[in-house]
Amino acid sequence: MPSLPTISPEDIRTAEHARGHGAIGDMRAAEWHPAHFDYLLRLGDDSLILAQRLAEWCGHAPSVEVDLSLANMGLDLIGQATLFLDHGGALEGKGRSGDTLAFHRDVLAFRNCLLVEQPNGDFAQTIARQFLFATYSLGLFEALTRSTDPRIAEVAAKAVKEVTYHADLAADWVVRLGDGTEESRTRMIAGFDWHWRFVEELFDQDELELSLVAQGIAADRAALRPAFDAALARTFAEAKLELPPLPFAIRGGRVGHHSEHLGHLLATMQFLPRTYPDAKW
Amino acid sequence: MTVLNAVLDARAEQAIMAALADVPDPEIPVVSVLDLGIVRGVRRDPPAVLITPTYTGCPATHVIEQSVRAALNEAGFSAVPVETVLSPPWTTDWISDAGRAKLLAYGIAPPSPRGSDVVACPQCGSTDTREVSRFGSTPCKALWRCTDCLEPFDRFKCH
């Protein structure tokens, strides 16, 4: 996957020209929203996209217990996404609800990290992604319980309890597969190998976020890294796996440059509300 | 009885709580939304019934809101809005003793008191039990099994 350039003035002109003609249309609009709104999209989109990935396992997991686990974690994430995106929509003040943001934005307007949009692969690959993301978001939400945005703080306080469970569950499976049979160990290692290149992005901070850190709204991602690394070292030791050095990092999700996988995911997730815009459950 | 006043009095508050006492949880109908601590209370001014979700993504949340709404309308409080609050976050400590007893009688192991990790089988009472799956039929339950009587059972997760 090649790294992508940042958005140039030329791209903006193209977007302006292409408005209403597909994915690139709302790129500029998303660029212009205030930082606080963008930060809520980053939080909400991470939860939303991973929830959709987990939902893809429904009815296909290796056992009924695992099926329930993956679907239930997805439910928690959808709950978090709804709260973050609703809050973002309210701040924006243009009448967009969480649902509108979830179903009526195109791929370039999504602000999730690349990790969560990765395909499920086999069960081990899904567990590797879940372990990395839950371990990271546990630290993030703990820090966000002290956010100066009271809504972010109270959503984080609820989410931290849910994500604690997700992180424990994923760590248990990493140990079980890593320290299991030759087959499960090989798959667990391959599952992590797919995702290592997306880890650095989780801790990236751009000017937008640093300005929010200064206001106490956002969490300082740099401060989350030691606990994340320690949790990885602990679980890998227990799973008798070796932690490899991280490969060249791929980035871009936070500014809307996504892998090809996200578009396919959105096509499935957004189909119904886009085809029948006024449909009510 | 229709409440027209802007502010609720003690009698109205009592009547509201009485009306909500029979609203069942949609997933575990043997317990009420009061037993589970989902109804956080009545605010008198400005009037509102405050409810809180157990898990952020619990699909029962919307049904609960509708059921509470319907019960309020039925009791003549159609002017009192239902508000969802997140803070302080719901924990299993909010489940009443009556609620715990009803869960146990229904075959669901209630959450252990904080600081304890003993899980007793709701069928035979044995504490020789083990977790089969971290998630059960709903987000708030895990699947367990008794090693003595061999019965599988749901356990309300500590949260």
Supply A49's token pair. Answer: 């996209």
Q: Which residue has the higher pLDDT, A186 or B54?
A: A186
Rounded to whole angstroms, the Cα distance separating A230 from A236 reads 10
State the ipTM, two decimals. Answer: 0.79
Interface residues of B toward A, Cβ cutoff 8 Å, are 53, 55-59, 86-91, 132-137, 139, 143, 157, 159
Alpha-carbon distances, residue A140 vs A14, A102, A270 (angstroms): 36, 22, 28
Which segments in chain A show pLDDT lower than 70? 1-33
Point out the residue among A69, A80, A154 whose CB comes nearest to the CB of B135: A69
* Residue among A199, A193, A246, A201 nearest A4 (CA): A201
Q: What is the Cβ-side half-sphere exposure of residue A281, based on CA atoms within 13 angstroms?
A: 3
DSSP output for A108-146: GG----HHHHS---SHHHHHHHHHHHHHHHHHHHHHHTT
Cα separation of A140 and A135, whole Å?
A: 9
Comparing CB atoms, the residue among A66, A159, A169 nearest residue B56 is: A159
For residue A51, the chain B residue with the least C-alpha distance is B57
Cis peptide, bond prior to residue B46, ω within 30 of zero: yes
How confident is the model over B99-105, as a mean pLDDT?
94
Identify from A43, A52, A65, A76 which residue to disrupt to test chain B contact, counting B C-beta atoms within 10 A and taking the largest count.
A65
* Interval B126-150 mean pLDDT: 90
* Confidence (pLDDT) at A15: 46
A159 to chain B, closest Cα gap in Å: 7
Helix (H, G, I), strand (E, B) or coil at B38: coil
Can you give the pLDDT at residue A280?
79
Contact B56 A80 (CB under 8 A): yes
Which residues of chain A neighbour B86 with C-beta distances below 8 Å?
A: 83, 154-155, 157-158
Q: How far is CA A226 from CA A232, A254, B33, B84, in A?
A: 10, 22, 42, 36
pLDDT at B135: 83
- What pTM was estimated for this model as a whole? 0.85
Kindly report which listed range (A8-22, A87-101, B6-20, B136-150) carries the lowest average pLDDT score: A8-22
Phi first, then psi: what are they for B148, rounded to 5°? -85, -60
**B140 falls in which pLDDT band (50, 70, 90)?**
confident
For an interface test with A, the pick among B56, B156, B158 (most A C-beta atoms closer than 10 Å) comes out as: B56
Residues of chain B in contact with residue A72, where contact means CB-CB under 8 angstroms, are: 135, 139
CB contact under 8 A, B57 and A79: yes
CA angle A14, A15, A21 (to 5 degrees): 105
Q: What is the mean pLDDT of residues B17-21?
A: 95
A68 to chain B nearest CA, in Å? 6
